[in-house]
């Protein structure tokens, strides 16, 4: 196993158990786990008595960048996430401009790529006027869509019938919405 780093003597935590093992990393990515050190990579870290946890995912952040950075921006928000063990954040659509189409989505993603300290995903917005843009947002990489059931953040309240349309925009019956009250 070719690795540039091995973390030894740590307690590895996964969804099933906690166990002693060696974690191998190459170019910042985990490439293997063994019970004992097989090869000596250029760097070895002794994590004796420490727990090695998988990174957490925060599926609902409000970084407000670009636009409302007096509240939080992507640099400080993702630094704080990393400090707390969060390796991926998923940001909502409410920025300037709001992300209701593929063009705004791509522009926001390109802007944030230079500011992010951790991995990130983005939601697209759902409004009374952008139902036809959902497919383009999805194809551009939106992980889902956020809409509101009340008037909030310069967004119209979405009625039940409209939400059903949004949840089935591709005809498959699968839903992609994050509806916040």
Q: What is the edge-to-edge ordering of all strands in the sheet holding 124-125?
A: 124-125, 145-148, 177-180
Is the pTM here over 0.75, yes or no? no
Pick the CATH number of 56-180 from 1.10.443.10, 3.20.20.140, 3.40.50.300, 1.20.1260.10: 3.20.20.140
- The mean of the pLDDT values for the chain is 86
Give me 181's structure tokens.
């009250």
- Give the DSSP letter string of 77-113: HHHHHHHTTEEEEEE-S-SSS---SHHHHHHHHHHHH
Distance from C-alpha of 164 to C-alpha of 116, rounded to nearest angstrom:
34
Model pLDDT for residues 129-140, shown as the tens digit of each residue: 888 888 899 999
pLDDT of 47 strictly over 80:
yes
Residue labelled with tokens 């951790």: 118
Whether 56-180 and 5-52 are alike in CATH topology: the answer is no
Between CA 18 and CA 28, with CA 23 as vertex, the angle to 5 degrees is: 125
Whole-number Cα distances in Å, 118 to 68, 87, 89, 94, 174: 20, 5, 7, 20, 29
Distance from C-alpha of 133 to C-alpha of 141, rounded to nearest angstrom:
13
What class is the 5-52 domain?
A: mainly beta
So where are the chain's domains?
Answer: 5-52, 56-180
Model pLDDT for residues 50-103, shown as the tens digit of each residue: 999 888 999 999 998 999 888 889 999 999 999 999 999 999 888 899 899 999
Q: Is residue 39 within 8 Å of 3, Cβ to Cβ?
A: yes
DSSP run (H or E) holding 167: helix 160-167
Model pLDDT for residues 93-118, shown as the tens digit of each residue: 888 998 999 999 999 999 999 999 99
């Amino acid at each position: 196993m070719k690795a540039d780093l091995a973390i030894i003597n740590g307690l590895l935590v996964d969804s099933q158990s906690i166990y002693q093992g060696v974690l191998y990393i190459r170019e910042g990515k985990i490439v293997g786990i063994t019970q004992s050190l097989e090869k000596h990579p250029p760097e070895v870290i002794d994590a004796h008595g420490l727990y090695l946890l998988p990174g957490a995912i925060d599926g609902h952040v409000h970084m407000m960048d670009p636009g409302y950075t007096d509240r939080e921006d992507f640099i400080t928000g993702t630094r704080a996430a990393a400090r707390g063990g969060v390796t991926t954040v998923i940001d909502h659509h409410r920025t300037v401009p709001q992300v209701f189409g593929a063009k705004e989505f791509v522009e926001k993603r390109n802007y944030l790529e230079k500011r992010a300290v951790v991995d990130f995903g983005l939601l697209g917005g759902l409004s009374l006027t952008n139902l036809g843009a959902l497919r383009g947002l999805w194809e551009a990489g939106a992980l889902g869509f956020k809409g509101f059931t009340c008037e909030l953040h310069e967004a119209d309240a979405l009625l039940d019938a409209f939400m059903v349309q949004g949840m089935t925009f591709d005809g498959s019956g699968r839903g992609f919405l994050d509806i916040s009250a």
